[in-house]
C-alpha cells in the first residue's frame, strides 16, 4: 500500500547511507557541490542510528545498497557501468552487484527446483554445483543433464524476491507521488510513469518462463550476427522460478585484465558490443536491456556471449527511425536536423523555438567532438542535458526509458574496455546502414507494399460495402444512421488509398 508508512522506508534509506558511510563516499565520487554534501550530512546525521548496518565486509556504498534490497541493487548495477559518472573507484565497488552478491544455500535452490519441475534434482541432473554467480533476483548453478550429459546453466529465483521487490517499489511510488506534489516543475519528468515502467519491467523478470521465451526470440533474431551468441533455453527443465539454458564458457567482460591476458582485442570488443546493441535496437526493435558486464562473456574465439534476458526492450518502427535520425544528426553535427526531428516527433512542445533548441544541442554535442573521450566528463554533460530538457519543456518519454538507459550502460561497458572509444564514430556504420535501408526510396516502396497488403485484406468486402452504400443513398426520406456515415468515410478512404497505392506500385514496376 502506497501510504505514509513509506516515509519510514525512505528515512531508513537515507539513514542507511549515512550509517554505512556511503553518503559521504557517493557524494564525493560524483563530485557533488560542497553545499549539497553539507546539507546531506546535516539531514542524515540525526537519523543515522535508524539505518541498516549491512555487511561490514563490503565497501560502504555496496554495503548500503545490498542492505536496502533488490530494487536498489538494480539501480546500483546501472551506475556500476559508468565510471565516468560516479568515478572509477565507486564503479569498481558497484560491480560486485552484477553477479557476486551473497548466494542463498544450494539445498534451498534444489528444493525450489524439485517443487517447480516436480522431480528430484538428482533425477534431472547427474551433477549440480554450488552457485557460480549470484545477482539481485536469482543465482546460477552449473549442472549436467542426466538424460544427455550436456552441461547447462540452471537459474533459480531468490526465495521471497517478489515480496521484497514490491516493498521497495511501494516506497518508490510514494516518493514519486510526493515529488510531483511538492515540485510541480518535476511533473514534466513524469516520475510516477517512470516508476510504473520500472515496475512492469522488473516484475517481468520474476517469471523465468518469460525470460526463456525472450532468450529464444533474441537467439532467432541474432542468429546471423557474427561473433555473437545467445545460449538456448531447455524448455523441459524450465518453469516460473527455474530456467535451464545451454552452458557457455567464457571470460566475464568485466575482467579486463583476464581478457587482455587471453589476447583478446579490447578495442575491437568495445566497438562490437556497442554496434551489436545498436543493430539489435534499430534493425530488430528488440534488444537486451540489461547489458552490463555481469551479463556478458567473451568466448575463447572472441565471440560475445549474452546472458540474463529478464529485461528486454522493444521499440516500434517509427520510433526506431526517429532515434536513427537523431543519432545520425549528432554524428554529422547537423544540430538543426536533430532539433527538427525532436519537434516532428513531438518530443519538444511546438511553441518552443527550433533555432534555440538547435543551439542548445550544439552546446551538448560539440564538446564530445572537440575532446578525446578520456577528457569528457559525462556527469557534467548529463547535468547540462537535464538543464536543456527543463528549459525546453521536454517530458520524459517512458517508451524510450529502456533504450536510453541501455545506451548509457552499453557505452559504459565499451569505455571500460577502451576508455578512448569515440561513441559517435563507432555508431556511424550501423546508423548509416539502417538509414540507407529504412529511410530511402526502397523503404518508401516497402511501406507502400505493406499498406497495399493491409488494405487488400478488405478487398473482397468492397463490392458489398459499395452496394449497401448506394442502396442507402437511394432512400431519400431516411437519414443515414451514424454507422453508415462511418462506412462511407472508411470506404472513401480505403478505396482512395488502394487506387493511390496501386498507381504508385504500377509506376515503380
Domain spans of the chain, in order of start: 5-99, 162-203, 248-439, 442-508
- Residue 122 CB neighbours (<10 A): 11
Q: Are 2 and 174 in contact (CB under 8 A)?
A: yes
CA 438 vs. chain centroid, Å, equals: 23
SS (H, E, C) 258-310: HHHHCCCCHHHHHHHHHHHHHHHHHHHCEEECCCCHHHEEECCCCCEEECCCC
What are the residues whose beta carbons fall under 8 Å from the beta carbon of 113, sequence distance 6 or more? 121, 124, 154, 156, 242
Q: Are 247 and 145 in contact (CB under 8 A)?
A: no
**What is the rounded CA–CA span in Å between residue 247 and residue 232?**
9
Cell output for 122: 538428482
Q: 3-state class of 209 per DSSP?
A: helix
**Count of residues for the chain?**
509
Q: 3-state class of 372 per DSSP?
A: coil
Q: Choose, from 290, 316, 334, 353, the residue flagged as catalytic.
A: 290
| Cβ burial, residue 379 (10 Å; 0-12/13-18/19+) | middle
DSSP state letters, 325-367: HHHHHHHTT-HHHHHHHHHHTTSS-TTS-HHHHHHHHHHHHHH
Q: Are 103 and 298 in contact (CB under 8 A)?
A: no
pTM of the model: 0.70
Q: Are 98 and 294 in contact (CB under 8 A)?
A: yes
CA 401 vs. chain centroid, Å, equals: 7
pLDDT of the chain along its 509 residues, tens only? 455 666 777 778 888 888 888 877 777 766 666 766 666 666 667 777 778 888 888 888 888 888 887 778 877 776 666 665 666 677 777 777 766 678 899 999 999 999 999 999 999 999 999 999 888 789 999 999 999 999 999 999 999 888 888 777 777 787 777 777 766 766 655 677 767 767 776 777 789 999 999 999 999 999 999 999 999 999 999 999 999 999 999 999 989 999 999 999 999 999 999 999 999 999 999 999 888 888 899 999 999 999 889 888 888 888 888 888 888 888 888 989 988 988 888 888 888 999 998 998 888 778 766 555 566 555 555 556 656 776 787 766 666 667 877 887 888 889 889 988 877 788 889 988 888 888 766 666 766 776 666 666 666 766 776 677 777 766 665 554 444 444 444 333 333 333 333 333 333 33
DSSP state letters, 142-158: EEEETTT--EEEEEEEP
DSSP annotation of 130 reads E
Q: Catalytic annotation on 334?
A: no
Q: Are 235 and 212 in contact (CB under 8 A)?
A: yes
Element (H, E) at 161: helix 161-182
Helices 401-417 & 70-79 angle (0-180, nearest 10): 50
Helices 354-370 & 423-438 angle (0-180, nearest 10): 130
**What is the rounded CA–CA span in Å between residue 386 and residue 102?**
36
Amino acid at each position: 500500500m502506497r501510504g505514509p508508512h513509506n516515509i519510514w522506508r525512505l528515512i531508513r534509506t537515507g539513514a542507511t547511507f549515512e550509517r554505512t558511510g556511503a553518503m559521504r563516499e557517493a557524494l564525493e565520487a560524483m563530485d557533488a557541490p560542497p553545499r549539497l554534501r553539507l546539507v546531506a550530512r546535516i539531514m542524515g546525521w540525526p537519523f543515522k542510528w535508524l539505518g541498516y548496518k549491512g555487511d561490514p565486509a563490503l565497501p560502504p556504498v555496496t554495503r548500503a545498497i545490498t542492505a536496502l534490497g533488490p530494487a536498489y541493487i538494480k539501480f546500483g548495477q546501472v551506475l556500476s557501468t559508468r565510471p565516468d559518472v560516479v568515478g572509477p573507484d565507486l564503479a569498481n565497488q558497484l560491480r560486485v552487484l552484477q553477479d557476486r552478491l551473497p548466494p542463498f544455500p544450494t539445498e534451498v535452490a534444489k528444493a525450489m527446483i524439485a517443487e517447480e519441475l516436480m522431480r528430484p534434482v538428482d533425477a534431472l541432473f547427474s551433477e549440480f554445483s554450488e552457485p557460480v554467480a549470484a545477482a539481485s533476483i536469482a543465482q546460477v548453478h552449473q549442472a549436467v543433464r542426466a538424460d544427455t550429459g550436456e552441461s547447462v546453466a540452471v537459474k533459480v529465483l531468490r526465495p521471497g524476491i517478489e515480496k521484497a521487490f514490491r516493498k521497495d517499489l511501494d516506497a518508490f511510488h510514494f516518493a514519486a507521488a510526493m515529488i510531483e506534489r511538492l515540485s510541480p516543475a518535476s511533473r514534466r519528468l513524469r516520475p510516477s510513469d517512470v516508476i510504473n515502467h520500472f515496475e512492469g519491467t522488473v516484475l517481468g523478470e520474476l517469471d523465468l518462463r518469460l525470460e526463456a521465451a525472450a532468450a529464444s526470440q533474441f537467439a532467432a533474431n541474432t542468429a546471423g550476427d557474427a561473433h555473437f551468441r545467445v545460449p538456448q533455453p531447455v524448455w523441459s527443465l524450465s518453469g516460473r522460478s527455474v530456467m535451464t539454458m545451454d552452458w557457455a564458457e567464457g571470460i566475464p567482460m568485466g575482467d579486463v585484465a583476464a581478457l587482455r591476458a587471453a589476447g583478446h582485442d579490447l578495442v575491437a570488443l568495445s566497438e562490437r558490443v556497442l554496434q551489436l546493441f545498436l543493430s539489435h535496437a534499430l534493425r530488430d526493435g528488440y534488444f537486451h536491456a540489461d547489458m552490463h558486464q555481469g551479463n556478458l562473456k567473451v568466448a575463447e574465439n572472441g565471440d560475445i556471449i549474452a546472458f540474463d534476458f529478464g529485461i528486454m526492450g522493444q521499440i516500434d518502427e517509427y520510433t526506431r527511425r526517429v532515434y536513427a535520425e537523431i543519432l545520425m544528426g549528432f554524428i554529422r553535427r547537423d544540430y538543426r536536423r536533430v532539433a527538427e526531428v525532436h519537434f516532428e516527433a513531438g518530443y519538444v512542445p511546438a511553441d518552443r523555438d527550433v533555432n534555440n533548441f538547435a543551439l542548445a544541442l550544439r552546446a551538448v554535442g560539440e564538446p564530445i567532438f572537440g575532446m578525446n573521450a578520456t577528457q569528457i566528463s559525462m556527469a557534467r554533460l548529463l547535468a547540462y542535458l537535464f538543464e536543456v530538457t527543463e528549459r525546453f519543456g521536454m517530458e520524459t518519454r517512458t517508451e524510450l526509458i529502456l533504450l536510453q538507459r541501455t545506451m548509457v550502460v552499453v557505452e559504459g561497458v565499451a569505455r571500460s574496455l577502451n576508455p578512448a572509444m569515440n561513441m559517435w564514430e563507432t555508431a556511424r556504420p550501423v546508423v548509416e546502414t539502417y538509414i540507407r535501408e529504412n529511410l530511402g526510396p526502397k523503404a518508401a516502396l516497402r511501406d507502400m507494399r505493406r499498406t497495399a497488403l493491409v488494405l487488400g485484406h478488405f478487398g473482397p468486402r468492397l463490392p458489398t460495402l459499395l452496394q449497401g452504400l448506394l442502396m442507402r443513398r437511394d432512400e431519400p426520406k431516411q437519414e443515414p444512421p451514424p454507422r453508415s456515415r462511418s462506412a462511407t468515410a472508411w470506404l472513401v478512404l480505403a478505396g482512395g488509398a488502394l487506387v493511390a497505392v496501386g498507381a504508385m506500385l504500377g509506376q515503380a514496376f
